[in-house]
Amino acid sequence: MGRAAGGAHSRHRGAEVTDAPAPGAAMHALVRELYPICRSITGDGLRQTLARLGGDIPLVRHEVPTGTRVFDWTVPREWNIRDAYVKNPAGERVIDFRRHNLHVVNYSVPVHRTMTLAELRPHLHSLPDRPELIPYRTSYYKESWGFCLPHRQLEQLPDTGYEVCIDSTLEDGHLTYGECLVEGRTQEEVLISCHACHPSLADDNLSGLAVATFLAQHLAKQPRRYSYRFVFVPGTIGAITWLSRNEELTRNIRHGLVLTCIGDRASFTYKRSRRGNAAIDRAVEHVLSHADPGHKVVPFSPYGYDERQYCSPGFNLPVGCLMRSHHGQFPQYHTSADNLDFVTPQALAGAFDTLLSVFDVLEHDGHYLNLKPRCEPQLGQRGLYGATGGSGPKQVEMAMLWVLNFSDGEASLLDIAQRSGMPFAVVREAAALLERHDLLARAT
């Protein structure tokens, strides 16, 4: 099972409700703090990142040894890097890992030799269509090495000799991941998953980590029906490893989301679960229909982030993926332009608020029975309807009529919200009012 280290508590309780605004500036500060760390799918950069998150939430860290079989995969050797550069004959670093983590192909094996530009050229990666940007490249499962640089700089390299050094190690060690369980009244769980392996990519990686961390803090102070399990894993191999070690636990997962690329200025994109009509799909789509007119909903596909592992046919969990810009479809993706300026406090705060609205739907959706189903009850005598007629019903009053008419034990509050076109929060408020006046009861 490997070693476990980090936070002393895996369960976090709380009952106080706070009305503090979404902490966009604080989330952006966390992104800024994590940005310089060179992360990968294994290694000390990943551990350092999880240790920082563990300072804010009770994070349990797990270490899984190299060589461990996880379904059809094997936990790889651990990679760490100290320094890397390409020097010209004058001893100047023309490519310098210390300036930007993306300058080195992630998981590069060690190398230290002198070579000509012709010998070096096959190991240099750039983007001719975006000549000012450094690309992000990896070599996780095929031993090789390389450097990344702006294409403009590549074209200007003199045809001379170069000292090439990558001071890295690739040896037996561990794969690390972290999880935090915010316990609710039941063992039924909402899974929130973020990949934590990308070096110096602010939107694709760090935005999800920051928002998830602040969600865990916030939810711990709220009354909850569900338990919320936050997992911070290296992409692909981390989710596969987590699933292989928690097959029994997955039976408790009722809803789930993968969070990525949620800190930029674009409208939201939601990728549905493999099921396509799971409660999480309907909840997210309903919230976005009221909160973000420019949002997009895309169908599930077996390509993308870790939703493809959670939704694989052996699990088929109800897990969707919430993004702003769609991965692979914006020019900053996997480049040095995915930086601290690309992510904004306002966008992070908007993602935080949107997710809380989604969780509110999950927490409070349910089926009800109209206790006076023969014609509509007289709401006015109960103080539930405007005393002056003729001006039309207010929104909550209209919502009460919808709730009463459709609370036959078949339609849920979310069904009623979708059919009426009203926000779930308004329908929920109407149901609470009716329940307090003995006109509505939760269906068993």
CATH assignment of the domain containing 137: 3.50.30.90
Instruction: Give CB contacts under 8 A, 24+ apart, made by 389-398.
Output: 395/422, 395/426, 396/426, 396/429, 396/430, 396/433, 398/422
Count up the domains in the chain and report the number.
3
Q: Report the run of H or E that residue 179 belongs to, with start and end.
A: strand 174-182
Same domain, 279 and 405: no
**DSSP states of 60-120 as a string?**
EEEEEETT-EETTEE---EEEEEEEEEE-TTS-EEEETTT-GGGB-BTPPPEEEEEEHHHH
Question: Of 118, 138, 171, which residue sits at a domain end?
Answer: 171
User: Burial level of 185, CB count in 10 A (0-12/13-18/19+)?
Assistant: exposed
Same domain, 246 and 266: yes
Same domain, 400 and 344: no
204 is in an annotated binding site: yes
221-to-14, 29, 243 alpha-carbon distances in Å = 5, 22, 28
Question: Of 131, 156, 171, which residue sits at a domain end?
Answer: 171
Same domain, 264 and 245: yes
Question: Of 139, 171, 203, which residue sits at a domain end?
Answer: 171
CATH code, domain carrying 398: 1.10.10.10
CATH code, domain carrying 321: 3.40.630.10
Same domain, 190 and 234: yes
- What range defines the domain where residue 90 resides? 78-171
- Give the Cβ contact number of residue 67 at 10 Å: 10
159 is in an annotated binding site: no
Virtual torsion, Cα 46, 338, 56, 227, nearest 10 deg: -90
Same domain, 156 and 223: no
Structure tokens at 350: 């908007």
pLDDT, one tens digit for every residue, the chain (444 residues): 333 333 323 333 332 323 334 689 999 999 999 999 999 999 999 999 999 999 999 999 999 999 999 999 999 999 999 999 999 999 999 999 999 999 999 999 999 999 999 999 999 999 999 999 999 999 999 999 999 999 999 999 999 999 999 999 999 999 999 999 999 999 999 999 999 999 999 999 999 999 999 999 999 999 999 999 999 999 999 999 999 999 999 999 999 999 999 999 999 999 999 999 999 999 999 999 999 999 999 999 999 999 999 999 999 999 999 999 999 999 999 999 999 999 999 999 999 999 999 999 999 999 999 999 999 999 988 988 764 344 446 899 999 999 999 999 999 999 999 999 999 999 999 999 999 999 999 996
334 is in an annotated binding site: yes
Same domain, 60 and 203: yes
Same domain, 185 and 318: yes
| Helix, coil or strand: residue 295 | coil
Same domain, 264 and 359: yes
- In angstroms, the CA 277 to CA 275 distance is 6
Structure tokens at 171: 């040896």
Same domain, 13 and 49: yes
Same domain, 262 and 376: no
391-424 per-residue burial string, b: 16 or more CB within 10 A, e: under 16: eeeeeebbbbebbbebbeeebbbbebbbebebbb
CB neighbour list of residue 45: distance below 8 Å, 6 or more residues apart:
37, 38, 39, 80, 199
Same domain, 127 and 264: no
